[in-house]
Amino acid sequence: MSIKKLMAKKLYFGTDGIRAQVGSPPMSADFILKLGWAIGKVLSKNGKNKILIGKDTRISGYMLESALEAGLSSAGVDTYLVGPMPTPAIAYLTRTFAADAGIVISASHNPFYDNGIKIFSKTGDKLTDKQEIAIEKQIADKFISVSSDELGRAYRIDDAAGRYIEYCKNTSGLKTDLKQYKIVVDCANGATYHIAPKVFAELGAEVIAICDQPDGFNINKNCGATNTSFLAQQVLKNKADFGIALDGDGDRLMMVDEAGEQVAGDVLLYLITKYQMSKSKITGIVGTLMSNLSFELAIKKLGLKFLRANVGDRYVLELLKKNNWFIGGESSGHLINLHLNTTGDGIVAALQVIKYLQKNNLTLNQAKQEITLFPQIMQNIKINNNNATELLQNKKVQKIIQEQQDFLKNDGRVLIRPSGTEPLIRVMAEGKNMADVKNSVDKICNTIQQEMKDT
């Protein structure tokens, strides 16, 4: 069955778990309690099993953690609480603790008033569509708790952060020494605040940590991987070698070079690819529908195959496994090094980029010159109560999309898709000429917005 048909079957799960504004369905305490029960019933079939729970720094994490714990206990499952931890850390810890699943309470790069649930299987992989559908079917069943003597217990893992810090350091190689670098690390006031600065400092770098004081409300606020302007200021102010920007749950990476210029996810993935080519045999790379066309051409110029997955690192992972490849990612900064972790990991990816710089004695600004991305513009259209699928099937909308694709021809492309995590339609165009790209995006957006008014 196609991804589109499977997604249409889902009521709650999007491209990256369940996500919504806190207090409104499905991100309410009563729903999350039943979700926890359903997860326990579906993923823990044999005896007294255990599931890890981690979270980012949102104020709502306390409420949702308690609700999940109660739901899992009512299904007879023990919970192991690790507190604020990056999403990739849960993928790693789920494997190392031989847990039946790992759950992350996070809405990633979204504002503090949103939250979400991401689930990893016992192998540290995102759940399959079929597993998510099975959980949704369980939610529809009557809630029945196990008897008192079968209830699950709750435990706290106090050394989880230390374990993950050592893991991240080891991925860069035992001989890694970063004493030559001054690095600004933007933790987005999120789950990496007590981890990322220590990783780079313990490897010898001079670290200036920013946005590392979470208060429950400031996660991703004017900082992190989705807003690198403050990081750029701090890199220039401190005359740093580069800056590292992570998002609220630590699975995205953006970087800023010594000139204060942002280095996009596709460029970082290209540098990681070249570093790994010097160490291992690589056959191909997986990007997504959003990957820059210039990135695709550059990968093929290296003699590698290139495949596009649907947006979402879970789909990148699926294609990697299907082809027995190990490097892939999204332009948004979800960069997967499958030989190191089973999901996007901002800290680990940053270390891979730094290793490339060290190996070739390059600054980040020099390294990024190795690939020039085509101008790309993406605009989000809030759809409110409109149906995204119906809008995109509208004849006038389809006509303008085709017209603009024909206009850009072989030197560019357009991509219009509904967001899997927010009530948005994302309109993207790219090509060699910025004016042409902007013109295409404006025309498509205007047409969609007009059809929204008329329906």
Q: Letter for the amino acid at 360? A: N
> What is the pTM for the complete model shown?
0.90
- Alpha helices, DSSP H, located in 250-345: 265-277, 293-301, 313-323
List where CATH 3.40.120.10 sits in the chain. 8-158, 181-263, 265-344+357-368
Helix (H) or strand (E) holding 231: helix 229-237
- Count of CA atoms in the C-beta half-sphere (13 A) of 210: 25
Q: What is the pLDDT of residue 211?
A: 98
Q: Letter for the amino acid at 319? A: L
Q: What is the pLDDT of residue 342?
A: 92
| Cα–Cα distance, 104 to 140 (Å, whole number) | 22
**Yes or no: is domain 8-158 CATH 3.20.20.70?**
no
| Cα–Cα distance, 15 to 310 (Å, whole number) | 9
* Catalytic residue (choose from 108, 172, 291, 332): 108
Residue 332 annotated as catalytic: no
DSSP annotation string for 232-270: HHHHHHTT-SEEEEE-TTS--EEEE-TTS-EE-HHHHHH
DSSP single-letter state for residue 148: G
All residues at 6 or more sequence positions from 218 whose CB lies less than 8 Å from its CB, including other chains: 112, 189, 211
CATH annotation of 265-344+357-368: 3.40.120.10
List where CATH 3.30.310.50 sits in the chain. 376-454
**Residue 206, CA distances (Å) to 197, 200, 235, 242, 257 in order:** 10, 8, 12, 11, 16
| Residue 42, both tokens | 């579906």
| Cα–Cα distance, 292 to 227 (Å, whole number) | 20
Bridge-based pairing of strands 262-263 and 284-288 is: unpaired
Residue 191 near residue 56 (C-beta atoms within 8 A): yes
Residue 455 near residue 390 (C-beta atoms within 8 A): yes
Q: What is the pLDDT of residue 47?
A: 60
Residue 268 near residue 330 (C-beta atoms within 8 A): no
Q: Indicate the fold that domain 181-263 takes in CATH.
A: Alpha-D-Glucose-1,6-Bisphosphate; Chain A, domain 3 (3.40.120)
pLDDT (tens, 9 = 90+) of the chain, 455 residues, equals: 444 555 557 999 988 899 999 999 999 999 999 999 999 999 876 666 899 999 999 999 999 999 999 999 999 999 999 999 999 999 999 999 999 999 999 999 999 999 999 999 999 998 888 999 999 999 999 999 999 999 999 999 999 999 999 999 999 998 899 999 999 999 999 999 999 999 999 999 999 999 999 999 999 999 999 999 999 999 999 999 999 999 999 999 999 999 999 999 999 999 999 999 999 999 999 999 999 999 999 999 999 999 999 988 888 999 999 999 999 999 999 999 999 999 999 999 999 999 999 999 999 999 999 999 999 999 999 987 768 888 899 999 999 999 999 998 878 899 998 887 778 999 999 999 999 999 999 999 999 999 888 76
What CATH architecture does domain 376-454 belong to? 2-Layer Sandwich (3.30)
